[in-house]
Amino acid sequence: MGEAIGDILPLAVGVALSPLPIVAIVLMLVTPRARANGPAFIGGWLFGLAVVGVIALALAGPTGASEQGQPATWVSILKLLLGVLLLLVGLRQWRGRPQEGDEVAVPKWMGAIDHFNAGKALGAGALLSGANPKNLLLAIAAGAAIAETGIATGQRALAYAVFVLIGTLGVGIPVILFFVLGERSGPLLDGLKTWMSRHNAAIMTVLCLLIGVKLVGDAIGELSG
């Protein structure tokens, strides 16, 4: 199981460093419903990643992701495709980055966060984790990486749980700071929101390119080995 966890750590960090979801949770934490909406958002985030993981592991399980201790060919091809897709996402982010002096635009739905209840916060968390293109690709890649090690079903589930927990740190830490520090967390969270908003494209580009190159490199090595 240690090999599986080692393989998924970079992918989990890529999920954790998701600028727009972090901005969204910080915005929720400055609303009157923060104490309900913050934990609800985290619950939805966990649920979204868990659903993707269950599907990925279920599909990989019966098809044989490991052959004689080596990754099955289809898993290597899947990793290659996921890596290429991440590279394309990264390039798209870079091409769409705001130019110097441009106002940083945020999605229109963020303007409605002040009116979110716990149910909407939970739904937003699930969508931003499981339906986010970057996170979706990384979660599928994590499921494939775990399955190809050939470990038992229980160990696969535990390894993916580690992936989910690490991937939740980005949105989870602001909530922890809010509950621990109370009003004193305001300036810190506001600074985090501003920085993440301003550098969203750069962060996404670097993450997608680094992880995409890693997946492509691993896949080429496995297919040529």
Cβ-count burial of 200 within 10 angstroms (0-12 exposed, 13-18 middle, 19+ buried)? Answer: buried
Which is more confidently placed, 192 or 45?
45
pLDDT above 90 covers a percentage of the chain that reads 35
Residue among 117, 214, 167 nearest 16 (CA): 167
pLDDT at 59: 74
pLDDT value for 167: 95
Per-residue model confidence (pLDDT) at position 118: 94
Q: Supply 79's token pair.
A: 């990793």
Q: How many domains in the chain?
A: 1
Q: Average pLDDT, stretch 185-199?
A: 84
What per-residue confidence (pLDDT) applies to 105? Answer: 62
Using one digit for the tens of pLDDT, what is the confidence trace for 25-68? 999 998 889 999 999 999 999 999 999 988 888 776 655 555 55
Dihedral over Cα of 62, 154, 128, 212: its sign:
negative
Q: Which residue has the higher pLDDT, 28 or 151?
A: 28
| Per-residue pLDDT band at 112 (split at 50, 70, 90) | confident
Whether 94 shows a pLDDT value over 90: the answer reads no
Q: Domain range for residue 110?
A: 2-224
pTM: 0.85
Of 21-25, 69-73, 132-136, 195-199, least confident by mean pLDDT is 69-73
Give the integer Cα–Cα distance in Å for 206 and 201.
9
Q: How many other C-beta atoms lie within 10 A of the C-beta of residue 55?
A: 14
